[in-house]
A and B are shown apart, each in its own frame.
Chain A
Amino acid sequence: MRVGEHKEALVGRVRILSGVVGIFLAAIAGAFWFVQVVRGTYYRDLAENNRLRKVAIKAPRGSIYDRNGRVIVENLPSYNLLLDRSRAASFDASLKFAAPILDRPLPDLVALLEHYRGLPSFQPVLLAEGLTLDQVARFEVEQLSHPEFVVDVSHRRLYRLGNQAAHVLGYLGEARPEELADPAKDLKSGDWVGRRGVELEYDAKLRGEDGERVVVVDSHGQSVAELDREVGRPGGALTLTIDAGLQQEAERQLAGKAGAIVALDPRNGEILALVSAPGYDPNLFTRRLEVAEWQQLIQDPLLPLQNRALASAYPPGSVFKMVMAAAGLAEGVITPSDGVFCNGAKTFYKRSFHCWKQGGHGFMTLETALKNSCDVYFYELGQKLGIERIARYARLFDFGVPTGIDLDGEKRGLVPDGAWSQRERRHPWYPGETISVAIGQGALLATPMQMATMAAAFANGGYIVTPHLVRGDDSHPPRRIALAPEVFEPIRRGLWRVVNDQGTGASARVAGVEIAGKTGTVQVVAHTAYENSNLRDYEERNHAWFASFAPFVNPTVVIVVFVEHGGQGSHVAAPIAKALYEKLFRPDLGTAPVS
């Protein structure tokens, strides 16, 4: 036997070897038992995690309508170009293909890609936003040779009025890290949120709730199937109190000027138009803003981002005489028939105060003093009332407190009095200052919005309304001012005469409409030395005011026009109001020229 006498030994060793292998096989089987049966659930969960991914379905942001149902803000599809680097054969080839289509220099794209280096390669990165349909088509037809490019459709906000109503609507911005960290805000990276205006104030309502898709993905993160879908809730639509037609006319009237226009309904506080000029185009913010564009916005000396209607306070000028008259009547310091003789100037506290009219107005009663805006009449009234009483009545008309409008950044203005002087200036109130305040000059400051609510109180016979921009908001009913109705009547008659009886507001007169109002011209002392003489001239020009309402009986609209460094109220502000009243009450007259 070839195996020889050792055959049994060989067989024995084969047996041992097989036994060892058998034991190992059994051990392997045991290990699989452990992994599959004992730990199976654990690995099943991991496998599910592997293959399932949650993808947000972005809720479309709510559209915004004007009071007549006209769409002023909506969403348009926007095409973004994404690059899936895990599918790119060569970045170089991909970018060389994309650069001419996007019309961007190659180094730009290379730098952009470098920026995304830290992200995992299966996570697509954004290369370009707002592609044209033509560009989309050029990427789509090359899908076979360039599968790494993905065109993604998202919603982009469209502000149909362009740069009009910008300060009402506001704009959007991408959520910041600190906002993302706030669990109450429930924001995801890349979400857009309101930054200013209605977009900010009603952000929660407009934004809605994102839905979620549970998709099955492969190892490249490519979605291969959808398992579950939760639709979410689209953003709610918002109907504003704004009348887009009036708003556009008001914007047109202020074009090229700095200033503000507020038109509101004195019965309920609904804002019909709200302009702050110069404005900006909120559409700029619907994509990532270029640094140069942002710089241009914030470095413009006319501050286009500033909402002058409520975030800037100015001396009210002669418009304040309405409040002065109410204080005088209510305090019994004057009666409607009491007269004052104006010879053009009067001396108070050893200082001569001039009436705006050289030579004077002659004998003035309350109504004629309002009509002619006689300064001497109100100097005397101011002296009789004193600053404390003036301040009290100013506050009665809500000067010095925010109106409570549903917009961000509202200023409270300033009602000066003795205490304020001591607190802020560390010296007592000078009686001479009272004379200035009596005609709305000096330290007294009010926003155009405050002026509108004040004028509304004279329109509606003594109610303070809370201005608001969203229809159906009756959470703030008009609140009665603690003044007798008789106080308002003579003043209202005076205001009627301002426009309709050859008063200072005659240039606001519209045939067939009874308008009442008060002009104001604020003397400006330029306190900044500008090197640019053009700018200095501009800065030294007066501010023009016109606060008004119509119709005289049962008024439905209050219009306040403010033109910063515009000149005289009667010449600059009143004609603008006239154009708006024509737009509202006399559409038959056609479009008014811009003064």
Chain B
Amino acid sequence: MKSSSGQISAPLPFPDERPRLEHLATIRWGLLASALALAAIGLATVHSASAELGTDFFSRQLVWIGVGLVAMVVSFSFNYHTLLGYSLPLYAVSLVALALVLVLGHEAGGAQGWFRLGSVGLQPSEFAKLVTALYLARYLAAPTTRQLPLKQIFIAVALVGAPMMLIVLEPDLGGAAMFAPMAVGMLLVAGVRPRILLTTLCAGLLALALIWSLGMKPYQRQRVLTFLAPDTDPLGAGYQVRQSKIAVGSGELSGKGYGQGTQSQLRFLPARHTDFILSVLAEEWGFLGVGAVLLLYAAYLANLAAIAMRAQDRAGILLVVGLGSTFSFHVLYNSAMVIGLVPVTGIPLPFLSYGGSFTLLNFIGLGLILGVDFRRFANR
């Protein structure tokens, strides 16, 4: 067994053993299978949800999935240790991109978070999330004691905080919030004393209070307030939640049938091909459809957890945990949002929602996780 660990500043002395091809058979392909199943369901639902929209979102999403699969193969092929070696410059580039989008970006839905490249929009915040996960995995990969020292925690929080603040400025609260579960998941697994965790939580709540009073625009506050009392403003911000709940609930046990959802087909449901895609699915396929989707997510996450648990290097475990935490939070938050349990914010559903950057990111993440599993014998 080889030993010694990398220091953050020093080049990573990871052994560069190429994994053998027969290891392919031992990969947890269930991860890929559940992802593909979800993507297929997503594609079908986007088709139904956008039937009444002018744009052909189905074909676009099909292309994005294709691109995503290619990106997945590429990110799978790269040894993630090599990527971790480049993670600092990548992290720096992503911060610059986030800063640039504030100045040059395209505004959509009240937030300036998009780069326009011809007809496609790119969200640097999605890539910042991936790069931050990579860099954080590398940074936390150096084990010193059983628990992380306070200084390392602070630096880790700062590393996550920098892109978060830039995204809050867009302002895209949902996008920024996605960094939190990643950081929490990775820090927890890396080892944080419960006392410190508690303190951080309090600090987080304080930060939330500050954001509420200083960092939020009125419409965002309105959204939160509407969440607390949705029926007071049926045609305003509460409209989305109300229509979504009606869509979900009216699906009942077995749904209205594919393409038969009145809430989505008659355009009552806003953002139905993106953030509220689960409402469309719930309306047309009922609780059985939702249950199947949740089971697929559970299968994806179970495979992911198994990969994390059998990986042999700290960086690999942390990378998988970081990606998995973000993924879990997306799933949990979005599904809670469409039935009005949490405020509406732009958090899409992985593999299901329409969206280029987001689909791409999820497939890249999938490739990285499979890569970790593939190299579990080599990267020790």
By a beta-carbon cutoff of 8 Å, the part of chain A in contact with chain B is 1-4, 6-7, 9-11, 13-15, 17-18, 21-22, 24-25, 28-29, 31-33, 35-37, 39-44, 46-48, 50-51, 120, 216-220, 224
Contact = CB atoms under 8 A, between A and B. Distances in A.
5 contacts: A7-B312, A32-B287, A37-B252, A43-B245, A219-B243
B266 A21 contact: no
B336 A31 contact: yes
Given A13-B191, A14-B317, A219-B268, 15 more contacts: A13-B188, A15-B309, A17-B188, A18-B302, A24-B332, A25-B294, A25-B331, A28-B294, A31-B341, A33-B287, A47-B247, A47-B249, A218-B52, A218-B268, A219-B243
Contact of A37 (B287, B294, B317): B287
Contacts of A22: 298, 301
Contact of A39 (B249, B297, B315): B249
B246 A43 contact: yes
Q: Which of B302, B312, B317 has the most CB of A within 10 A?
A: B317
B357 interface: no
A40 B252 contact: yes
Contact of B266 (A25, A31, A41, A217): A217
A44 B282 CA distance: 12
B5 A32 contact: no
A44 B301 contact: no
Given A32-B282, A224-B266, A2 B253 contact: no
B305 interface: yes
A50 B336 CA distance: 23
B312 A1 contact: yes
Contacts of B268: 50-51, 218-219
Contacts of A15: 305, 309
Contacts of A216: 262, 266
Contact of A47 (B246, B325, B379): B246
Given A9-B146, A14-B309, A51 B189 contact: no
A47 B263 contact: yes
A35 B380 CA distance: 47
Q: Which of A35, A36, A37, A41 has the most CB of B within 10 A?
A: A36
A220 B270 CA distance: 12
Contacts of A9: 146, 191
Interface in B1-40: 1-3, 5
A96 B350 CA distance: 47
B239 to A, nearest CB: 9
Given A15-B309, A50-B263, A37 B253 contact: yes
SS class of chain A's interface: helix, strand, loop or mixed?
Answer: helix
B42 interface: no
B321 A2 contact: no
Contacts of B251: 36, 40
Nearest to A33: B287
Which 6 A-B pairs give the minimum distances between C-beta atoms? A43-B249, A40-B252, A47-B250, A18-B305, A36-B287, A218-B266
A424 B269 CA distance: 74
A189 B378 CA distance: 80
B215 interface: no
Interface in B234-260: 235, 243, 245-253
Contacts of A7: 312
A42 B252 CA distance: 10
B143 interface: yes
Nearest to A38: B249
B291 interface: yes
B121 interface: no
Q: Is the interface of B mostly helix, strand, loop or mixed?
A: helix
A39 to B, nearest CB: 5
Interface residues of B, number: 59
Contact of A29 (B143, B263, B291, B305): B291
Nearest to B308: A14
A6 B191 contact: yes
B297 A17 contact: no
A557 B314 CA distance: 116
B267 A219 contact: yes
Nearest to B5: A2
Contacts of B246: 43, 46-47, 50
B305 A47 contact: no
A73 B74 CA distance: 82
A15 B312 CA distance: 15
Interface string B285-317: 011001100100110011001001100111101
A31 B342 CA distance: 12
A120 B287 CA distance: 34
B80 to A, nearest CB: 13
A50 B294 contact: no
A4 B328 CA distance: 27
Contact of A3 (B317, B332, B341): B317
Interface in B179-207: 185, 188-191
Contact of B248 (A32, A41, A120, A218): A32
B339 A31 contact: yes
Contacts of B297: 25
B245 to A, nearest CB: 7
Contact of B335 (A3, A32, A40, A48): A32
A17 B321 contact: yes
Given A2-B5, A13-B188, A14-B309, A35 B331 contact: no
Contact of A14 (B2, B243, B247, B321): B321
A218 B243 CA distance: 13
Given A14-B305, A32-B290, A219-B268, A43 B250 contact: yes
A42 B336 CA distance: 19
A442 B20 CA distance: 130
Contacts of B143: 3-4, 6
A35 B248 contact: yes
B11 to A, nearest CB: 15
Contacts of B253: 36-37, 40
B313 A3 contact: yes
A51 B3 contact: no
Contacts of B336: 28, 31
Nearest to A120: B235
A50 B380 CA distance: 59
Nearest to A47: B250
B301 A21 contact: yes
Contacts of B146: 6, 9
Interface string B335-360: 11001010000000000000000000
A40 B250 contact: yes
B248 A25 contact: no
Nearest to A52: B262
Nearest to A16: B188
Interface in B122-180: 141, 143, 146
B264 to A, nearest CB: 10
Pick the most buried of A22, A33, A46, A216: most chain B CB atoms within 10 A of its CB.
A46
A40 B247 CA distance: 10
B313 A36 contact: no
A250 to B, nearest CB: 59
A35 B282 CA distance: 10
A445 to B, nearest CB: 62
Contacts of B308: 14
Contacts of A218: 52, 266-268
A43 B268 CA distance: 14
Contact of A10 (B185, B189, B379): B189
Contact of B262 (A13, A28, A51): A51
Contacts of B235: 120
